[in-house]
Amino acid sequence: MSKDKEKRRIDQLRKLLQHYNHQYYNLSISEVSDFEYDNLLKELIDLELKNPDYSDSSSASVSVGGDSNVEFEKEAHSFPMLSLDNTYSKEELFDFESRNKKLLPEDYQYICELKYDGASISLKYENGILIRALTRGDGTTGDNVTANVKTIKSIPLKLKGTDYPDNFEIRGEIFIPHEGFNEMNRIREENGEPEFANPRNTASGSLKTLNTSIVASRPLDCFLYYIISKNLPSNSHYENMQLAREWGFNVPSIIQKCKDINEVIKFIEYWDIERLNLPYDIDGIVIKIDNLKQQQKLGMTAKSPRWATSFKFKADQVKTKLLSIDYQVGRTGAITPVANLEPVLLAGTTVKRASLHNSDQINLFDIRVNDFVYVEKGGEIIPKIVGVDKDLRTEDSKAVEYIKSCPECGTELVRDEGEAKHYCPNDTGCPPQIKGRIEHFISRKAMNIGAAEATVEALVDKGLIHDIGDLYFLTKEDLLSLERFAEKSASNLIESIEKSKEVPFHKVLFALGIRYVGETVAKTIASELKTIENIKNASLEELIEINEIGERIAASIIDYFKSEIHLKIIDKLKISGVQFEINVDNEQESENKLNNQTFVISGTFEKHSRDELKELIVKYGGKNTGSISAKTNYLLAGENIGPSKLEKVRKLNIPIISEDEFLKMIE
Ligand code: IVH
């Protein structure tokens, strides 16, 4: 690149980054992913280094950005609020290490912390009383949001004990935990209000809301990670933070001392995976030199300290073009719109498709074909679309016309009241529903029949089976007529089908694939009503009387048995010898050993897989849930259990049991 071209590019990058900063800090909008932003910033820094004569103190490479809002009073920070250097590459961490080694001939220690993804805040305490809370602003001055911050329960207004410095600032991140965020969105959805896109933008938006009572209603929380004062009690960052916890601050317990960068990398690698199990968002790891004297020695650049750096996990949100929409028909006939996207790199993988959930979601975001959409990868496998960049909308954008009939069988779709999804009602004639039902029926947790998806597909396509009942009338010859089936594989499958006749009734009930009747519900109904005849003849009222069976489930069961086709299938299964009543001998005694207690499973186990443990819990009358709450009775803990889970159970005083202890309970 010629010098002129380089300078033009510098101008362009400065403008672009300034625009993104304004959008991010003032309007809480992320137009680009962090990854893209950081790449642009890196490019700018490199070019500026090559062109020192073209420096500018207001360049995005020097100033921190800005989150100032006109309506709030601006105040100067007592100490500038710097940002952190960041990297996505482990090589650069070794560079960080070499620089430290060069500048610090003596021993030093790193402290690793999670990089919380929210809005940063600086709290000022005088004589143990919170007197001011400032947003980062441009790093020198910030917005005074004290009234809003005072509504956050985990921020102490008055400190405990007496051994805190008279005067200090403590900094941290205001964020919204997933549970609160989802609940807030659920309520908004119920009230017909637009849902929030993600916890980070909602946290920073909330902080800058002028109505304090609205702020108070938001589930904001705050982690503190950095304390500054002229008279701190210890020379170690780690020690000071532990003391701050005793004064009443919410100091994260996930913090680790590391002796070298290899230990740091282990911490990073662990959390790169485990972060998906955290109850809040993090976007990386922060690495700090522990000793404050050494921190001083290393000093800082205009923008960030040299004694700390951050490793950022790959971007979680990107923007790309929506090319078209496909409609998938699920096992139960539920229609899911799926977006075809211009391929884009997201969190290390190329994304071409993303779920759009349902027609409401499309309308809510006003998503149109050819729009640029934000795609996010959460805990789910399929990424989802979380918003639209309307500024980039062009004339060729086309409003979505949601389909009216099933793309597989042409039947007119229905949408039940209160349901978000459209359904194809042709459950016995729609090919994906037929195949899906059979796949569900034979699955391990249901009848446990060993046939591959491709086998089911071939059997249906060849017309050898039309429903789950037909499986029991298959002959070896039928199977041998399929491609890739030999004598051995054919007899294995026949044997497996034969064996499924011993599968207990509650699993058969689950295997039928009645809408809303999952494993636990099937188990409850089977043990309550004992036989398929009783279930078939039960009234809505009788079903609702059963513990944990609501109207929705009851109505679905009644509906299922109204269908002549379903009754014929059940007859076929009955004739074949499938279990349609509970075996009192086997089941009753084991039934209630766990006495309805709730378990959460975490970690890896020696003797059983997690799925097997879940099955055992249900089999012995317990309940299995995914997340820890006050209702949890036990945490069944294996190896490598996430510290966040441990922290939560300790807080709630929930007993932790090992695999062996659990097996004893059901012995
Ligand atoms: S320390 C001088 N520790 O990341 C450095 N920052 O880009 C003081 N952040 O502005 C910050 N988690 O908003 C620190 N454990 C952590 C953090 C953290 C998140 C944020 C913070 C800061 C930004 C740096």
Average pLDDT over residues 46-65: 70
Q: Residue 285 C-alpha to ligand 1 middle, in angstroms?
A: 9
- d(CA 310, ligand 1 centre) in Å: 8
pLDDT of 315 > 60? The answer is no
Long-range contacts of the stretch 199-202 (C-beta < 8 A, 24+): 199/117, 199/118, 199/175, 199/280, 199/281, 200/117, 200/118, 200/119, 200/175, 200/281, 201/28, 201/29, 201/30, 202/176
- Predicted structure pTM score: 0.48
* CATH code: domain of residue 517: 1.10.150.20
If asked whether residues 517 and 494 sit together in one domain, one would say no
**pLDDT at res. 24:** 63
pLDDT category of residue 177 using cuts at 50, 70 and 90? very high
Pair 491, 546 in one domain: no
Distance (angstroms) between ligand 1 centre and the Cα of 123 equals 14
Q: CB within 8 A of 93, min separation 6: which ones? A: 87, 261, 264, 265, 287, 309, 311
| Mean pLDDT calculated for residue range 333-342 | 92
**pLDDT for 109:** 97
Query: Which of 77, 78, 115 for a ligand 1 pocket mutation test, highest count of atoms within 8 Å of Cβ?
Result: 115
Set 3, 5, 115, 288: catalytic member: 115
Categorize the per-residue pLDDT at 31 as very low, low, confident or very high, splitting at 50, 70 and 90. Answer: low
The confidence score (pLDDT) of residue 65 equals 44
pLDDT for the residue 215: 86
Give the tens place of pLDDT for each residue, 587-639: 555 667 888 889 999 888 888 888 889 888 987 888 888 888 888 999 998 88
pLDDT more than 70, % of the chain: 91
Q: Would you state the pLDDT for residue 645?
A: 78
Residue 598 falls inside a structural domain: yes
Q: Is residue 404 part of a domain?
A: no
Q: Average pLDDT of the chain?
A: 87
Judge if 362 and 471 occupy the same domain: no
In a domain, 69, yes or no: no
Domain tally, the chain? 6
Q: In a mutational test of the pocket of ligand 1, which residue from 114, 240, 250, 286 has the highest number of ligand atoms less than 8 Å from its CB?
A: 286
Which domain range does residue 641 map to? 586-665
For residue 193, the model assigns a pLDDT of 66
CA of 647 to the centre of ligand 1 (A): 22
pLDDT computed for residue 68 by the predictor = 44
- What is the DSSP code (8-state) at residue 26? I
Domain boundary among 445, 468, 502: 502
pLDDT band at 258 (very low <50, low <70, confident <90, very high): very high
pLDDT tens per residue across span 105-160 = 899 999 999 999 999 999 999 999 999 999 998 888 999 999 999 999 999 999 99
The pLDDT assigned to 66 comes to: 46
Report the separation in Å between the CA atom of 19 and the middle of ligand 1, taken as the mean of its atom positions: 22
Q: Is residue 322 part of a domain?
A: yes
| pLDDT band at residue 379 under the 50/70/90 scheme | very low
176: Cβ–Cβ under 8 A, 6 or more apart, which residues?
118, 184, 199, 202, 203, 206, 218, 219, 220, 221, 280
115 classed as catalytic: yes
The beta strand positions in 271-312, using DSSP E, are: 282-289, 308-312
Residue 54 has pLDDT above 90, yes or no: no
Do 472 and 603 lie in a common domain?
no
Q: Whose CA is nearest to atom 10 of ligand 1?
A: 83
Q: Which atom of ligand 1 is nearest to the CA of 120?
A: 13
Mean pLDDT of 390-417: 93
For the Cβ of 308 lying below 6 angstroms from any atom of ligand 1, the answer is: yes
474 falls in which pLDDT band (50, 70, 90)?
very high
**Are 201 and 287 members of one domain?**
yes
> pLDDT tens, 497-543?
999 999 999 999 999 999 889 888 998 999 899 999 999 999 999 99
CA 555 to chain centre: 32
Same domain assignment for residues 147 and 228: yes
My answer on whether 153 and 280 are in the same domain is: yes
Q: Residue 113: CB within 6 Å of ligand 1?
A: yes
